[in-house]
Each structure stands twice: as C-alpha cells, then as structure tokens.
A and B are shown apart, each in its own frame.
Chain A
C-alpha cells in the first residue's frame, strides 16, 4: 500500500526559502498527480499547486505564483515543494497528497511537514 513520506520540520527566517520533499513508498507516481496543501495553525486547507510527474507539468494557485516551485524526480519517486521569500504568515503544516489522474479526489496524504517562520 502506498505511503507518502514527507521530510522533517523546518524553522526558517523571514525572506528565506524552504524545500519540502514527498516520497512515494510502495508505489510510483505513474498515473497520479501530486498536489501540495497547506494548513496554517487553527485554519482550513489551502491548495498551493500540483504536478503530474509523468508529464513534468506543474500548476500553481494564483496567490502563490512566483513564490512556489514544484518539481518531481521520477528516479526516486519524490516530489519537491520549494517556497521562497517566506513570511511569518507562511507558518503552517504543508501536506502532499495523491490523486489518480481524472479521479477528482485525494486518496493518500503525507504525514505533513511543519514549516515555522520565525526571527
């Protein structure tokens, strides 16, 4: 059974960048899209962007355009989220999640990665 395993918690200073990874364990990314969703403390779920690894094409939510980059490494079944120019309000748990192409739902989620932005 596939699991999405994310990298560990990060503490960053304002203006810096962070790179979070999401590795598929027990399966590959073929026929799936991987998306990133963040959740600020006490808040709801917010879609940031996603990628279809077999095509290598990423798309992003408008509010994150220019600050977020998503890339995939097929050889290690890993997807990366790179988020730059961090602000205090970017403190959140960042989740990756998997969707079978065309299914319309997210069947598997990573455990989440806390990114804390602090001076």
Chain B
C-alpha cells in the first residue's frame, strides 16, 4: 500500500512569497497518477494539478507541479491572498485505490 507523506504540515508565508510543498511516496509511483488539490474551509477540494505537472482548467499559472519517482512538489510562485488553504496530494493506484497525503496548510504569516 502506497503511503503519501506531505511536508511541511504548516507553511507560514506572506502574500507574494514563494510556496514549496512536498509530497513523498513510500515507493516509486507513476507520475501520471499524482494530483494536487486545494481545499478552503467549508468547501470541497478543487483539482489544481494532474499527471504531476499539468494544470487543471482555470488554474492560474502561478501554480506548478513537478517530480517523479517518489518525490513530488507543488509550487506557488507568488502566493496570493486567495491561495491560503490546505493542499493535498493524491495517488491513484493500479487496483483502483486512492491515497491522499495528510495535507499541508498554507497560512498567513
């Protein structure tokens, strides 16, 4: 069973700063099945990135994803006020299983 570990648990930043969020898999996985989501309080998660590096429809280009093997990264080039939220990485396994990381909260410094 693949386990996804996100770090840090909390990232305290000021608007305009760069955010770098990490997602590490317990074993090598196909990047095609890695996605990132943003969740704001009281809302459902929203797809940001799929296939490790592809932005979903309507997602601003300040969001980017990268990585392969066991290490994946979500970067927000300049954090905007509306970006403060919790971010989750996700892996879809061969046997139709779905695994989520425990989340990284990006909060106002």
Contacts and interface: CB of A to CB of B under 8 A. Distances in A.
B47 A112 contact: no
| SS class, residues of chain A in contact with chain B | strand
Interface in A69-101: 95, 97, 99
Nearest to A99: B92
Contacts of A59: 95-97
B88 interface: yes
Contacts of B34: 104
Nearest to A93: B44
B62 to A, nearest CB: 20
B92 A105 contact: yes
Contacts of B92: 99, 104-105
Nearest to B57: A107
A14 interface: no
B97 A47 contact: yes
Contact of B100 (A45, A50, A107, A109): A45
Interface magnitude class on chain B: 20 to 34
Contacts of B46: 109
A104 B100 contact: no
Interface in B49-89: 50-51, 56, 88
Contacts of B56: 107
Contact of A44 (B97, B98, B103): B103
Contacts of A44: 88, 100-103
A9 interface: no
B31 to A, nearest CB: 9
A109 B51 CA distance: 18
A105 B96 contact: no
Contact of B96 (A33, A37, A95): A33
8 contacts: A33-B96, A37-B98, A44-B101, A45-B90, A50-B98, A59-B96, A59-B97, A106-B90
Interface of A: 33, 35, 37, 44-47, 50, 59, 61, 95, 97, 99, 103-107, 109-112
